[in-house]
Each structure stands twice: as C-alpha cells, then as structure tokens.
A and B are shown apart, each in its own frame.
Chain A
Amino acid sequence: MAKSMDLLQGTLDLLILKALALGPMHGYGVSLRIAQLSKAGLQVQQGSLYPALHRLEQHAWIQSEWGTSDNNRKAKFYSLTPAGRKQLDVETANWARVAEAVGLVLGAQEV
C-alpha cells in the first residue's frame, strides 16, 4: 500500500467537501470515496478525518443526521449545506490558483 501523503489541513477540508458534494455519506464512506477517487493515492487518516468532519459541521458547511448504511446499520450521514457548497467553490478556486502557481515554480527551466 502506498505510503499516505500528509495533507495540508485546508486540503483535507476541500477533499471532504468535494466528496460530500457527490452525495450524503458517512465518515467511513467519505474516506473510502476519497481513496477511490484518488485511485488509492490519498489515504485519509481517521485521526484527522473525524475532527475535520466535526470542524466543518461547526462551520455549518456540512450537516449531519443519523441514517441506515448499505449494510443496514445505524450510521451518521453528512451532507453539504448551501454554505458548504459556496465554500467548496471558493476553496476549489484557491486550490487551482495554488496548484498553478506551484506548477509554474516547479516547471521553471534552468537558464
């Protein structure tokens, strides 16, 4: 298994928001979804996943309710709020800018 990368805190928030933008999901599902989408390139540590979920809920970017999982068990489902959707847009734009900037720096040719 690939060694998991350390994620910048803001990045983890962005990933969670994006994962939840695809539909409501419980914490375990969120970690699976991120792993899946990144083709197992990103493994979210559980130790940071749940605090992040609670923090995002605190900011009212996501909300939670108890529901039933695929395997018919009680699970806490998170979903994006309208404010969270806006935040996702903002952070996506930010990320794009940062990525482009970092790319420019790394792509500079030696003269």
Chain B
Amino acid sequence: MKTTGVRWIDMLRLRWRSLSRRNRLEDELDDELRFHFESLIERFTTDGLPPAEARRRAGLDIGGMEAVKENCRDSRGVSALENLGRDVVYAWRAMKKSPGFVLTAAAAIALGIGVNIALFSLVYSLMFRALPVFDPDSFRNVHIATFGEGNRSGYGTPYNVSWHEFNYIRKAAKTAEIGGLAEVEMSRKGDARSARAQLVSENLLSLIGSRPVLGRFFAPEEASQPGSAAVTVLSHRAWQHWFAGTADIVGHTIVLNRQPFTIVGVADERTTGPVLIVPDLWIPLTMQALTRSGEPLIDIATSGWIQVFARRKPGYDDGALRAEMQVLAQQSLQPHLPKRKAQVSVESGAYFNFPFVKQRFKPMFAIVTLAVSLVLIVACANVANMLLARGLTRRREIAIRLSIGAGRARLLQQLLTESVMLAIVGGAGGLFLAWGGARLLVGMIPAESIGRHQLDSSPDLIVLLFTLGVAVLTGLVFGLLPALSSLRFDLTPALKTEGLEEHGRGGRRRLQNLLIGVQVAVCLVLLVNAALLLRGFTHALQLDPGQSTRNILITGFDLRQQQYTAEESARFMNTLRETIAASPGVVSVSNTFIEPLHDQCGNMARIPDGDTAAREVKTSCDEVGTDFFRTAGIRLLQGREFTQAEMFNTARVAVIDERLARDHFGSPMNAVGAVIRLGQRADSDHEIVGVAASVRSLDLNRVAYGRVYTPMRGLRNNEGKLLVAYTGPAGDIDKAIRAAVASLDPNVTPHTKRIEESIRSALLPARMAAAAASALGGLALILACTGVYGLVSFAVSRRRREVGIRMALGADRVSVMRLVVWQGMKPVAVGGIAGLLLAGAAAQAVRAMLYGISPLDPLSFGSTALLLACVAAAAAAIPARGALRVDPAVTLRHD
C-alpha cells in the first residue's frame, strides 16, 4: 500500500516537473544524451580511432538523436496534458491570425449564451442566491403549509403563520432561534404608501447579523404583547434621506399611520432585510393592529401573516431543524385548528424559494428555458457553418499535418480545443450581454409596483461556472461536426491544390444545408410564437370586455393608514362622491371594491336547488356603489341596479352576471327574483334583482367564474375605489378629484389612473412575454440570416469557375443569379417547412396568453414565414451579386 502511495506521489511530482519545467527537462535530456555521445567518442578514441572516425561511429551507434528524445518524452507520459497546453497555444495563435472570423463567431455565441446566462442568473438570484444576511449558511426559510379541515385565512404567502402559532413555535424551538417578519406599507406625513416597514419579532435584526449604528434594537418587552411599544428602528437609508443623518435622532418621534413612534435606533448600512423589498424602517410585530383596519390580524389565531425564519444553532443540521419544526408546527395548530395538518419544509434562505412558486412556475420556466436554448442552438448551427467553411480553407494545413504523421485523434482534439476556446471567448461576451440583459429585464418591472428591491443579478462564482460549463458544451457541440468533416477526406488531392475540392463536397454541402435548415426552423418556432403573443396581446386590447374601456378614471386611496373607523370612511366616500359628481365634465360616479377588468375577489356561493339541497358554485365577487353599471358601462340585461336606498339599508340584494345566470338559472329572465346564498346560513340569502352583461377579466391566470355584485356599504377593510366616468380632458377631472379629496382630508393622497393604464397593467405579463419572445425571435432571425448570407457568399466564392464556364457558354445574368440564390434558399425552404410544423406544436404551450387567438392562427404563421423568406432572400441576394461580377475570361484563365 505504502509503496503505491509513494509511487503515485512520485508520478505526480514527475508529471508536474515535466509540465512546469519543460524547458529544464529538455535541457537535462540534452545533457544526458550528449554525455553518452561524448563518452562513446572518448571510448572509440581510446580504442585508437582517429577523432573524426570516432565521432562518426558514435553517431551511428546512438542512432537518430531526435527520435530517441521523442521516445523519452513519450515514456514520461505527460502527452495528454502537455498536448492540451500545446493545443491551447496553437489555437490561440490561429485565433490571432483571423480576428475577423473570431469576432463574428464569438459574437454569435455571445448572443446565444448571453440569453441563457441572463435567464439563469435571474432565476438563480431569485430562488437560490443566499440572502444578504450574516452567515447565510445557517440561516433558513421555514415554510409551513397547512391543509385539511378548518378555515384559515392569510396574507402574503400561504406559508405565513399566525401570531399565536409563531409564539408557540418560537418559544419551544431548540434547534434554532426563530424570527418572524411581515411587510407592510405605511403612511408618513399623511402620504399613503410612503413608508415601507417590516413588522419584526424583536430578535430578527440581530438574527440577520445587523448592528445598530445609533441607539439599540428592540427589547423583548417591546414586542411581547399586542399593542406594546410604538418604537421603531430606522434603516440607514431612511435616516440619511428623511433626517439627513442627524446624529441625535434617537429619542425623536416619527408619525406613521397617524401614530407617533419613538426612534430607538438606526441599523447599519448593510442591513437590507431578509426579503426582496428593502424596508425603510422596522417596527415590532405587536404593532400590527395599527397597520390595517378591521379586526387586527394579531388577535386572530387562524390568520397567517408572519413569515418564519430560523437561525440554526450549532450542532444541528437541516434535518433536525425540519423534524422539530414539523412537530412544533403541528402542535401550534392544536388549540384552534386541531384537524388541520402541517407540512414543513426548510430551505436555505433565498427570496423566492417557496414550494408553490417552484410548482406554479415550472411550466413557464420550462417554456422560457426552451426558448433561450433554441437561440443557443441557432447560434451553434451558425458557428458550425462558419467552421465548416473555414475547414475548407484550412484543408491544406490539415492535410500537411496528417501527411507528416499527426494522428487524426490528435487533430480532432486540436480542432475541438479551438472551438471550445472560441466558445469561451463568446461566453465571456455573453456574460456581459447577460449582465446588461438581466438589468434590462428587471428594469421592465415597474418600480412603484414592488418598491425598492435588492435583487442582485451580478455574476458570481456560480454564474461564472455555469457560463464556463455552457461554453465548453457549446464549443464541443458546434465544433464536432465541422471537425469530423474536415478530417474526413483524401490527402492527395488536398495537398495538390486548394481549388480542386470537389472530392467529398457532397457530404460537406449537405451538412451546411442541414445546419442552415436547423437555424431557419428554430428561428421560425421562436418568431411564430412571438407573432402569436403579439397578436394575442393586441387582440386582448380590442376584445369587447363587456364594459367601457374609455373615459373612466379609477381613484384609489388607502384609508387604512388614516385610522378611519368604518363609519368615518363611509361618510368620507359618500361626501367625496357627491362633490365629484357635481364637478363639470363628470358623467357619473360610483364605487367598486375591485379594479375593473381585474379579478381579485373569489367567493363560494350556494344556489338553492329544490327545497333543501344547495349547489356550491365558485364565483368572483365585487361590491359596488349606486350608478356602478352606468358608470362602468356594463349593460343591464334584466332587472335593475341597486337603488340609493339599498346602499344604506340592510336589504340583501344582488346583481349577477349573464354567465352565472345562464349556467345556473337557465336564462337571465329566470334569474331575476331567484335567491343566491353568499354565506353558510339562511340569513345570507340574497335576492337577485338584476342581471348584467359578463365582464372579461384580463388577468392571465383567470378562470372565468360568474360574478356576483352586492351593494357597497361603507368600505371593506377601508379599501375601495372611486369610479368616475367623464367627458373632456382627463387632466381636469383628475384635478377636481384631488381638490375634492384635499378639502375633505388633506392627509389622504388619491392615486388616480385612467382605465387604459389599468388595462395595460393587467396585460403586463402578456406584453412582457410578447416582448421577450420578439427579442429572442429577432436574435434568432439575425443569426439565421447571417448564416444564409455566409452560405451564399461562400458558395459564390467556391463556384467562380463554374459560373465563369456557364457565362462563357452563354448563361444570362438572371439564370446565374437564380442558380446562386436558389442554392441558399433551398435549405431555407426545407427548414422553413419543418419550422412551421414545429411552431404549430410549440404554440400550444402559450395558448393561455393568446386571449382566444388560435395557436394555429394563419395570419401569424403566414406573416412570419413571409418575413423570414424575404429577409433570407435578401441575405442570399446580396452576396449572390458577386457571382455577376465574375469575368469568364479571368476565371477560366486562372486554372
């Protein structure tokens, strides 16, 4: 055993020596052999031979010095590594010799690899990259899902726990210290949403390794009882921006949601919190009641709103943590939801690693991955074609190397080394493209909708390794076919003259055509899908949504942050409605709970069937004010709207939409006067007084449910929207709304938008998908067309002689042109047909985003095919003109 160990080390040492000190070893070999040579001469001289003869004999005796040396090198056995080193140096020299080729090829690869890295780093940063906390290796997300009997409500993700559950788990946990967090928006100086806060357990800041630069963090008693301690810790940024970094800020107060909070400390600059959105300040979890109206969540044992984090204690691993959390989560449900089952998963801290995200986005992720891989495939085929053409010009070089004894395997290794190096250069370029691309993509997400995020999409070691891996693989893929093809030919004709390469040409040309066909086919798949998505998007804009899509303003305000009681908010809304209705240009005013054309409210309704049995129906819901249907432009098919009186009395009345009426009552006529139960008990029976036209929701994940409208009495959770139908310029109405709100309560800031903007935001995912698909399709088109261009110009340069003969024999320019262009267009046509078939299959995957456009929409397919044909024909025609400049006299004399 020991000897083999020593041998192994010796071997390594020797190999290392032979690699690192190659020159010295070569010198040593020289010295050794020269010593032998001279010793021989000496011996022959002593034997009595004259010096010259002794020298000759010694030379004969020793044989070919170089051959001996080569054999010695071989027996040292470092060839593989040494060869790689030599290949790299050789490839580097070859690349330096043709910078134009390297640049073109590397650019194509950079595009292909770039989109892959961009996607990878985006997904990686969202779902896998460690959180910006101290020692992320022991920091964990704890996801507690519950299922089974018992009602459970929640805010945020389904993995959030209630205050009661959180405290139970936190106190009992032994394997880790548990922290909790909830994100809220608050008002500062009366401006709603002007402060982003994180409600935290008192230990959370120290749990993520934060340190106060001023003052202190929360004390346990400041976060122990609901309502305890109106204290806050400022983020470094808030301290700088809001208070200009005043040194004596601790002890001052800041008014949030009309409640003064004492500033007890300022966190250091690095502290940005363990979630994607960066907060301005932290307040104790126990101040939850202040952050929204209605019954405080902190009092409801079944309401999950706290996100759970764990800092593992030394000596415990994730398995132990998960096992303990599973037991504790189950026990925490015991008092209020004894029949519900908990299901715990523990994951390395990341922003978006929730199990449901991984599940829900898997199909979408697969589509996007496929799309970016397709671009890479086009790039590979493109570069492979360039290499094929280049292989011909290097044929002589390769033939010479083969004829002086280089092995084909060695040459293959050499050629592959070159293509892998090319791919690595391209990969480096792709890294830069991806970095810019990821920033662009993240920039497309409207900042106001999510707040200041800390998504870090800059490349790190993982991204670098991914790039290197993809680059090496890419290099092998696009390098293999051309390399094999350039090694498979007869030596003799290749050595004689470069011009005569008819030999084996058929195979090479078939390969080139195949590669063009692949590029065109893949490019068509991407382009057709892009066209479909664009068509779907524009179609969605033109759909009859069942309501007016013009001349409506939607005004929202968050009264939750103004500490209004239900009565106050109802009075506020009514006065506001009347004031605005009296303004010039206003046609009508109403209220709604949900934003028009969005679908955010779901409910279970029961429709009495016969005497006792009731059918359960999933419905979407909305609470609306008087004049709603007129304001929103929704046609009433039967019955009536809610009356002014019904807004203030307790009459249980409802308006349903046509879909619900037809599906469950037979017809709108039958529905009026019928009863629908909107709760569990008989006292939640509502009389249907009217049937309205169905309104289409533009949300992508919509499932079309029938809708039930009920009168809006007061404000649910102090949330509500004002709907204003108007004529004339929207700006004037906006001003009138602002003035009306300011006269009622200067602390309330209205957020008004036109209905067109609302529609646009609902269509944002579809628009982003269409934009991304167009960008990818465009990239593929550019690559494919450079491919066609290259193929035709190559063919023109190779067929000069043939064209010359044809012209000498009397062919006219048109037929020559047709000949050359057709050669480029033939693979385009074949690839195009294959691409259309593939695109038809691929389009099924994006059906959901097409808003009713058929996945086989002939317009999309036809226009895309036409576009590709035109662009490819242009790409073929430009270099083909070169053939017309052929002078038969010159080309024929050439040989």
Report A-chain residues with C-beta under 8 Å of the C-beta of B6.
60, 83
Given A47-B63, A60-B6, A60-B10, is A73 in contact with B35 using a C-beta cutoff of 8 Å? yes
Whether a CB of chain B sits under 8 angstroms from the CB of A59 is yes
Q: Which of A65-102 contact B (CB under 8 A)?
A: 66, 69, 71, 73-76, 82-83, 86
Q: Which of B6-39 contact A (CB under 8 A)?
A: 6-7, 10-11, 14, 28, 31-33, 35-36, 38-39
Of chain B, the residue at the smallest CB distance from A26 is B35
Q: Which of A40-80 contact B (CB under 8 A)?
A: 45-48, 50-52, 54-55, 57-60, 63, 66, 69, 71, 73-76
> Do the beta carbons of B63 and A45 come within 8 Å of each other?
yes
The answer for the CA separation of A52 and B40 in the assembled complex, in Å, is 19
> Do the beta carbons of A47 and B71 come within 8 Å of each other?
yes
> Do the beta carbons of A58 and B11 come within 8 Å of each other?
yes
The answer for the CA separation of A54 and B14 in the assembled complex, in Å, is 11
The answer for the CA separation of A28 and B38 in the assembled complex, in Å, is 10
> Do the beta carbons of B7 and A83 come within 8 Å of each other?
yes
Interface locus among B74-82, B446-454, B527-535: B74-82
Report A-chain residues with C-beta under 8 Å of the C-beta of B10.
60, 63
Report B-chain residues with C-beta under 8 Å of the C-beta of A55.
75
> Do the beta carbons of B3 and A46 come within 8 Å of each other?
no
Of chain B, the residue at the smallest CB distance from A52 is B75
Report the minimum CB–CB distance from A34 to chain B (whole Å): 14
Report B-chain residues with C-beta under 8 Å of the C-beta of A24.
none
Report A-chain residues with C-beta under 8 Å of the C-beta of B456.
none
The answer for the CA separation of A73 and B62 in the assembled complex, in Å, is 19
> Do the beta carbons of A76 and B32 come within 8 Å of each other?
yes
Given A27-B36, A47-B67, A50-B68, is A58 in contact with B76 using a C-beta cutoff of 8 Å? yes
Whether a CB of chain A sits under 8 angstroms from the CB of B61 is yes
- Name which of A45, A48, A50, A82 has the most chain B CB atoms within 10 A of its CB: A50
Main secondary structure of the interface of A (DSSP, over half): helix
> Do the beta carbons of B76 and A82 come within 8 Å of each other?
no
> Do the beta carbons of A54 and B72 come within 8 Å of each other?
yes
The answer for the CA separation of A28 and B39 in the assembled complex, in Å, is 7
The answer for the CA separation of A50 and B69 in the assembled complex, in Å, is 8
Q: How many residues of A contact B (CB 8 A)?
A: 27
Given A60-B6, A60-B11, is A51 in contact with B75 using a C-beta cutoff of 8 Å? yes
> Do the beta carbons of A28 and B40 come within 8 Å of each other?
yes
The answer for the CA separation of A55 and B75 in the assembled complex, in Å, is 5
Report B-chain residues with C-beta under 8 Å of the C-beta of A69.
35, 39
> Do the beta carbons of A50 and B71 come within 8 Å of each other?
yes
Whether a CB of chain A sits under 8 angstroms from the CB of B699 is no
> Do the beta carbons of B64 and A47 come within 8 Å of each other?
yes
> Do the beta carbons of A51 and B72 come within 8 Å of each other?
yes
Whether a CB of chain A sits under 8 angstroms from the CB of B42 is yes
The answer for the CA separation of A1 and B72 in the assembled complex, in Å, is 27
The answer for the CA separation of A20 and B62 in the assembled complex, in Å, is 21
Report B-chain residues with C-beta under 8 Å of the C-beta of A27.
32, 35-36
> Do the beta carbons of B62 and A58 come within 8 Å of each other?
no
The answer for the CA separation of A16 and B183 in the assembled complex, in Å, is 81
Report A-chain residues with C-beta under 8 Å of the C-beta of B39.
28, 69, 71
Report A-chain residues with C-beta under 8 Å of the C-beta of B76.
54, 58
Report A-chain residues with C-beta under 8 Å of the C-beta of B71.
47-48, 50-51
> Do the beta carbons of B68 and A76 come within 8 Å of each other?
no
Report B-chain residues with C-beta under 8 Å of the C-beta of A50.
32-33, 36, 68, 71-72
The answer for the CA separation of A82 and B3 in the assembled complex, in Å, is 8
The answer for the CA separation of A77 and B7 in the assembled complex, in Å, is 19
Report B-chain residues with C-beta under 8 Å of the C-beta of A48.
71
Report the minimum CB–CB distance from A91 to chain B (whole Å): 16
Report A-chain residues with C-beta under 8 Å of the C-beta of B35.
26-28, 69, 73-76
Report A-chain residues with C-beta under 8 Å of the C-beta of B38.
73
Given A45-B63, A46-B62, A46-B63, is A51 in contact with B68 using a C-beta cutoff of 8 Å? yes
Closest 3 pairs between A and B when the two form their complex, measured CB to CB: A55-B75, A51-B71, A60-B10
Question: Can you report 18 residue pairs joining A to B where beta carbons are below 8 Å apart?
Answer: A27-B35, A28-B35, A28-B36, A46-B36, A46-B61, A47-B62, A50-B71, A51-B71, A51-B72, A55-B75, A57-B14, A60-B10, A74-B31, A74-B35, A75-B35, A76-B28, A82-B3, A83-B6
Q: A54-B76, A83-B7 are in contact. List 14 more A-B contacts (CB 8 A).
A: A26-B32, A28-B40, A46-B68, A47-B62, A50-B32, A50-B72, A51-B68, A52-B75, A55-B75, A59-B7, A69-B39, A73-B35, A74-B31, A74-B35
